[in-house]
């Protein structure tokens, strides 16, 4: 088969799996798991073959016109360069892992068939985004991901948190998608095509008329999808979905789509220095703010969610300094270790019966209950904190190196200001990242207090996946020499300055956190805290759903817990209160948008009920009165009727006579 055929099959197989799963899920339950896992695995294999065949050479392009539109044509196009090939492999890996993991994690869930089908559809949509060479087709995948995330985040729709979170995810991403769509049209009008290759060719000739406007419009969609400030607020709340969904959304699919999109169209953004600066500021604010917020979260998954936002900030930072190789490198390594982190967190939540770090810090020997999760998560946290020689170190150093390169004026594609912004924010974020990674590890695995509950061994499907993902988290860095061949050719190897700086601040962050923890951990015994799910023997999904549902009643807040033993509380000081709630951004949005909209809705309701309906009721009242009046004539007395009839006859007769005589 040709590479094109294989590439077409890659997104098609999960799609067919999703359709079959939806159709057969109820009637043939035995087929659900094979239909979920096999298409993902096959797609992974095919994506790997496509990647090998493409091999970093010239991009594979194939197109067939989908429909003549009269103006800008829409093509069914493939555009597979090195970025696309590798990102598709990552998507395949994470999707396969998530599907395998889910078979055990949602073992007893009655809605597993639809869940698995939606995950397949999600995967298919992401692969479509990755491979598509036409922006309209890309948009199709982009929007399918939006609606799938709505369904998957709301998987536990019985809980109000999940319902609110799914709606929020949908609305916030859609808020970004509107300008995104307008931006796409503007881009297509300027370039005369939706094809990526032709757009890039146009940009190379300087043919864009409004680069800044287009770039900013597109950035809005990217910020919504990739959870960048100020549209990031949906992501922490999306933790109300099952853990595998979080892994899928955070590691490889939805949030990666935004970064990937910018990476693909980077020349468009690079055409506008203002857009790059905006991107840099966005990335800097996102990095620093999310890292601070992560340090204050109590829910283990929310820590990881804010960490995702921060790491995505690194990627957009890399894009802001014009190095998409570094961005996609970080995307790949982050995809691996973040998927690992989430899946391991799922195991931990299942084992501990709670998602609260405060509760975990009061459990002894949790690490012995889940040795696989303990070791793999340690690896992933080291990668997250960018400690050499783990994969995160290399990719993050690539980003910082690119920023330093730009800041010192060696790159002509991006303004130096963007470089400085990204570099400083990146170093601050590196410090904070190491701090919250250390905090997470200490609180989860170094707890003291009562014995952790024993639920026996975790299912193999869950633990094996962890080890599979641990390999790239550990060793992806060795590819640093090969990857530039696939990408633009920029050198990705770490430079000495940034390596020393980055690793240094990371170590400082870790050590400071450790010191704080040593200081505060003594307090833990004094304040008993912790709520544990009631169903120790249930599958992971149910335990997690209960843990999320009980967090707010137990601790007063979905995000934080009043735990004095938390080192983050000591480190952040007065800032902790604000960081725990995401710096009041939700409250701000509520005041700025939600309340005016609700007030407007109330006004409309009032107008409808009281003003419009008054006319309607009035229109109904007049005929009713008329009817009552006419009904009074229905006396049942024949003589009355006859009198009226004859009176009418007389009148008519007189009228007829008058008319006749007048005419004569």
Closer to another protein at the Cβ: 592 or 658?
658
Closer to another protein at the Cβ: 587 or 645?
645
Please tell me the distance from the alpha carbon of residue 176 to that of residue 394, in angstroms, as a whole number: 31
Give the nearest distance from C-beta 641 to another protein in angstroms: 9
Interior angle at CA 634, CA 628 and CA 635, nearest 5: 115
Q: List all residues 6 or more positions away from 633 whose beta carbon is below 8 Å from its beta carbon.
A: 640, 644
Which helix or strand (DSSP H or E) is residue 371 part of?
helix 371-384
Is the distance from CB of 466 to CB of 343 less than 8 angstroms? yes
Closer to another protein at the Cβ: 534 or 654?
654
CA distances from 565 to 295, 357, 433, 442, 528 (A): 13, 11, 20, 12, 10
Closer to another protein at the Cβ: 27 or 634?
634
Give the nearest distance from C-beta 653 to another protein in angstroms: 6
Give the nearest distance from C-beta 629 to another protein in angstroms: 10
Please tell me the distance from the alpha carbon of residue 13 to that of residue 311, in angstroms, as a whole number: 30
Beta strands 60-67 and 74-80 are: antiparallel
Give the nearest distance from C-beta 171 to another protein in angstroms: 51
Q: Go through the chain and tell me how many residues it has.
A: 664
Give the nearest distance from C-beta 628 to another protein in angstroms: 7
Q: Tokens 């949906």 identify what position?
A: 234
Q: Which of 298, 334, 162, 296 is nearest to 572 (CA)?
A: 296
Closer to another protein at the Cβ: 205 or 637?
637
For 346, the token pair is: 């799922």
Give the nearest distance from C-beta 113 to another protein in angstroms: 57
Q: Which of 548, 559, 519, 526 is nearest to 295 (CA)?
A: 559
**Helix, strand or coil, per DSSP, at residue 391:** helix
Closer to another protein at the Cβ: 611 or 628?
628
Give the nearest distance from C-beta 663 to another protein in angstroms: 15
CB atoms within 10 A of CB 401: 26
Closer to another protein at the Cβ: 526 or 631?
631
Give the nearest distance from C-beta 618 to another protein in angstroms: 22
Q: Tokens 């607020």 identify what position?
A: 233
Closer to another protein at the Cβ: 588 or 646?
646
Is the distance from CB of 562 to CB of 556 less than 8 angstroms? yes
**Helix, strand or coil, per DSSP, at residue 299:** strand
For 616, the token pair is: 């309607």
Give the nearest distance from C-beta 664 to another protein in angstroms: 11
Closer to another protein at the Cβ: 592 or 645?
645
CB atoms within 10 A of CB 170: 18
Give the nearest distance from C-beta 644 to another protein in angstroms: 8
Closer to another protein at the Cβ: 587 or 652?
652
Please tell me the distance from the alpha carbon of residue 247 to that of residue 252, in angstroms, as a whole number: 8
CB atoms within 10 A of CB 523: 14
For residue 6, the number of C-alpha atoms closer than 13 Å in the C-beta half-sphere is 21
Closer to another protein at the Cβ: 496 or 638?
638
Give the nearest distance from C-beta 164 to another protein in angstroms: 50
* Residues at the interface with another protein (CB under 8 A): 628, 631-632, 634-640, 642-643, 646-647, 650, 653-654, 657
């Amino acid at each position: 088969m040709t590479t094109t055929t294989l590439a077409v099959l890659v997104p098609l197989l999960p799609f067919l799996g999703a359709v079959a799963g939806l159709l057969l899920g109820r009637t043939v339950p035995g087929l659900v798991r094979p239909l979920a896992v096999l298409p993902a695995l096959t797609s992974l294999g095919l994506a790997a073959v496509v990647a090998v065949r493409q091999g970093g050479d010239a991009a594979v392009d194939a197109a067939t016109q989908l429909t003549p539109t009269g103006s800008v044509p829409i093509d069914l196009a493939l555009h597979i360069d090195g970025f696309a090939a590798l990102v598709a492999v990552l998507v395949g890996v994470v999707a396969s892992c998530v599907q395998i993991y889910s078979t055990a994690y949602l073992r007893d869930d009655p809605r597993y068939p639809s869940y698995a089908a939606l995950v397949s559809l999600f995967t298919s949509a992401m692969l479509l985004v990755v491979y598509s060479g036409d922006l309209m087709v890309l948009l199709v995948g982009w929007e399918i991901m939006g609606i799938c995330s709505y369904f998957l985040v709301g998987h536990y729709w019985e809980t109000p948190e999940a319902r609110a979170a799914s709606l929020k995810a949908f609305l916030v991403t859609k808020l970004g998608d509107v300008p995104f769509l307008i931006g796409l049209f503007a881009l297509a009008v300027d370039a005369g095509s939706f094809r990526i290759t032709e757009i890039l060719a146009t940009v190379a000739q300087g043919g864009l008329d409004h680069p800044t406007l287009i770039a900013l419009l597109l950035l809005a969609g990217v910020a919504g999808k990739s959870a960048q400030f100020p549209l990031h607020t949906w992501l922490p709340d999306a933790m109300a979905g099952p853990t595998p969904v979080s892994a899928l959304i955070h590691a490889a699919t939805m949030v990666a789509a935004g970064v990937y999109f910018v990476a693909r169209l980077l020349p468009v953004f690079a055409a506008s220095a203002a857009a790059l600066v905006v991107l840099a500021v966005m990335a800097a604010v996102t990095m620093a703010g999310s890292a601070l917020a992560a340090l204050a979260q109590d829910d283990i998954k929310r820590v990881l969610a804010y960490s995702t936002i921060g790491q995505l900030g690194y990627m957009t930072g890399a894009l802001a300094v014009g190095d998409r190789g570094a961005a996609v490198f970080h995307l790949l390594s982050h995809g691996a270790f973040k998927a690992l982190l989430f899946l391991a967190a799922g195991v931990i939540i299942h084992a501990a019966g709670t998602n609260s770090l405060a509760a975990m810090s009061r459990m002894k020997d949790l690490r012995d209950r889940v040795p696989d999760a303990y070791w793999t998560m340690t690896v992933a946290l080291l990668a997250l904190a960018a400690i050499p020689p783990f994969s995160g170190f290399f990719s993050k150093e690539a980003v910082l190196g690119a920023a330093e390169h730009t800041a010192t004026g060696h790159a002509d594609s991006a303004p130096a200001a963007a470089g400085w912004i990204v570099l400083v924010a990146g170093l601050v974020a590196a410090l904070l990242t190491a701090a919250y990674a250390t905090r997470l590890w200490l609180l989860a695995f170094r707890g003291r207090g009562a014995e952790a509950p024993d639920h026996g061994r975790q299912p193999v499907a869950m633990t094996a996946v962890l080890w599979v993902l641990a390999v790239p988290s550990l060793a992806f860095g060795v590819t640093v020499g090969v990857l530039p061949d696939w990408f633009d050719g920029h050198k990705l190897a770490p430079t000495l300055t940034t390596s020393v700086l980055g690793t240094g601040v990371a170590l400082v962050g870790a050590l400071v956190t450790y010191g704080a923890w040593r200081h505060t951990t003594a307090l833990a015994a004094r304040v008993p805290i912790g709520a544990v799910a009631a169903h120790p023997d249930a599958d992971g999904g149910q335990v997690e759903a209960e843990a999320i549902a009980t967090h707010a009643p137990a601790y007063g807040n979905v995000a934080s817990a009043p735990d004095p033993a938390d080192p983050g509380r000591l480190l952040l000081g007065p800032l902790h209160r604000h960081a725990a709630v995401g710096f009041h951004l939700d409250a701000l949005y509520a005041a700025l948008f939600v309340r005016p909209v609700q007030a407007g809705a109330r006004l409309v309701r009032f107008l409808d009920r009281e003003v419009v309906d008054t006319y309607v009721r009035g229109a109904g009242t007049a005929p009713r009165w008329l009817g009552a009046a006419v009904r009074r004539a229905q006396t049942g007395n024949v003589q009355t009727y006859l009198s009226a009839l004859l009176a009418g006859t007389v009148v008519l007769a007189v009228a007829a006579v008058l008319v006749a005589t007048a005419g004569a």
